[in-house]
Amino acid sequence: MASRAFSTTSAAYAAEVKKLGVIGAGQMGLGIALVAAQKAQVPVSLIDNSQASLDKGLKFADKLLAKDVSKERLTQDAADAARALITPSVKMDDLSSVDFIIEAVPEITELKTSIFSQISQIAPKHAILATNTSSISITKIAAATTTNPTDLQAPSRVISTHFMNPVPIQKGVEIIAGLQTSQETIDTAITFVQRMGKIASVSADSPGFLANRILMPYINEAVICLETGVGGREDIDNIMKNGTNVPMGPLTLADFIGLDTCLAIMNVLHQETGDSKYRPSGLLKRMVDAGWMGKKTGKGFYNY
């Protein structure tokens, strides 16, 4: 099937976003909320089902803002203003007055489709329903919104705004439209991420999209090289850093992303394409089984 063609420069049908909702107060969701408050200067409802997660996320936001102030990248007044725009809540119903929602929960298809089924019945009928998924079909997620018989246009407002990690630093955002996504939704998403100071790249709704379709096989091949003795971990990382000018080698990058996340995305690529070139490394699987997920658990290819 040919991919849908749309431009990153078109904003002919973009709607104004006056209030944002973010679902998930983890590293990605918190980063999205903070950048939206700081750069786009919009009020943000930050939703999570755990008060502890909200408290942890906002503590991290305070730390990031304080660091920017100390390095004179931000004034204290600007930091206070950005922080004041973020309102935490454990109630999904607080999304009933937003113009744009970005879901940023773990890469579990059933979890995401359940959330989209729910928010399609809570959000205003004009609100854009975006996911931060890095691998799950947007068309499939959009189909979950058909459970609301009073809003038959909900699937047309579903899109992916896949932010790169860490959100406050990385400029790139993948924009992925499902088969149901309208041009107005596309234009609004592109315009809004640009307000956040990001650079949009568009991708077809294909397994892995652009970033992970390229990145994850690269990381997986590096793990295979380690597993089969082609090179040691430092040699693998150093040749890529010093030979291709990337800021970190593939094994270090995998540790920062999370080995469980890398494995999950490789599994999606393998299952949805049926192509053996996407088969996950055996070593990657065993490390995840051992609980060695990378930096977040203190041990991966390196110790932290």
Mark the binding-site residues for NAD(+), compressed into ranges: 24-29, 48, 107, 112, 134, 165, 296
Which member of 160, 212, 220, 281 is catalytic? 212
Residues paired with 102 in a beta bridge: 22, 130
Token pair 């009928």: residue: 125
Amino acid at 303: N
| Residues of each annotated binding site | 24-29, 48, 107, 112, 134, 165, 296
What phi and psi, each to the nearest 5 degrees, are found at residue 263?
A: -65, -45
Question: Cα dist. 254→28, 90, 261, 265, 303 in Å?
Answer: 16, 31, 9, 12, 13
Which member of 45, 120, 134, 148 is catalytic? 134
Which member of 174, 203, 220, 281 is catalytic? 174
303 is catalytic: no
Which member of 160, 162, 203, 281 is catalytic? 162
53 is catalytic: no
212 is catalytic: yes
Active site residue ranges: 134, 162, 174, 212
